[in-house]
A = this chain, B = another copy of it.
């Protein structure tokens, strides 16, 4: 049995074998894939809490139950014959950046790569909830997947609730395709929830039950994981929308093991993506001196309001040498990124600015 929240590694500690086991299964998006508006399948980041379950599409049903006037049980065919919507959505793991915290919360040890944008096709959730008819006392809606495991000493299916006002937003999707293809097993075949602008923990995969409840949901993934807190004894704030962040395609070429970058002397077009779950991105800044001075990047329109903005910046290093490149996003609410990582017990929402060491050689 384990602590409810991630155990903490002392500052000097290297990555444990348990963290490596997770890192070998899950994977981020190599940052050079920031070049794509839509992340190719297979490059999209993956965080799978337990195992990828086997789901038989012929017997699979989606049940809508609980505090509803009319229970529904939809086959995959039922879902697919409803009106279809396709939307590009940028999704980021709430734990992105965790491995750069000190001391380091022990869980999936993400550096920066746990973000991607896919084009999801499915049917809107709202009309299905309307058809089922939420009772007036419905407070939250619980989404349960077919993935099962043990966490915090409790055997459980992966379950997450949304407040009813979020669950009835008009942009939540039950998705059965990614980038025009049927969902592959690792992305939640046959059906997953898509909650634009929220962190990945809300995007329940292998969805099989939607339950309206009249009491606050006490499930492990809502109450014990995915909360911002400094100590076990705090209840803390739940993770919801993605904090603003900009990331850059590392310029030049890498050294195999250290991943340090080497770039030829001369003008260099830096490019990347920026996003925020709170509001559109209004500014991206770039620094070539580790965050002392900043210049404004050109920020383009996103492929959809639910997806990342492209940005670019012409960098002209004055001379060969060692540089530290940074980028920083600001959204329309004025929210921006800190230079130092914001620490919390679960290692969530660390949107400290990216730092890339580059050797510019003559």
Contact = CB atoms under 8 A, between A and B. Distances in A.
Interface string A1-27: 010001000000111111111111111
- The quantity of this chain's copies bound in the complex is 2
A49 interface: yes
Contacts of A258: 2, 18, 21
B32 A52 contact: yes
A33 B51 CA distance: 9
A201 to B, nearest CB: 13
Given A14-B15, A24-B28, A44-B42, A148 B253 contact: yes
Contact of A30 (B28, B52, B149, B181): B52
Nearest to A7: B257
Given A23-B24, A257-B107, A15 B17 contact: yes
Contacts of A111: 20-21, 24
Given A15-B16, A41-B42, A24 B27 contact: yes
Interface string A177-201: 0000100111100000000000000
Contacts of A54: 32, 35
Interface in A32-63: 32-33, 35, 40-44, 46, 48-52, 54
Interface in A236-268: 250, 253-259, 262
25 contacts: A2-B257, A2-B258, A18-B257, A21-B258, A21-B259, A22-B257, A24-B27, A24-B28, A24-B99, A24-B109, A25-B30, A25-B113, A27-B46, A30-B52, A32-B54, A41-B41, A41-B184, A42-B184, A42-B186, A43-B184, A51-B250, A149-B256, A150-B254, A150-B255, A155-B262
Given A15-B19, A15-B20, A23-B24, 16 more contacts: A2-B258, A14-B15, A18-B259, A20-B99, A20-B111, A22-B259, A24-B27, A24-B99, A24-B111, A25-B113, A27-B27, A27-B46, A40-B185, A50-B256, A51-B250, A181-B181
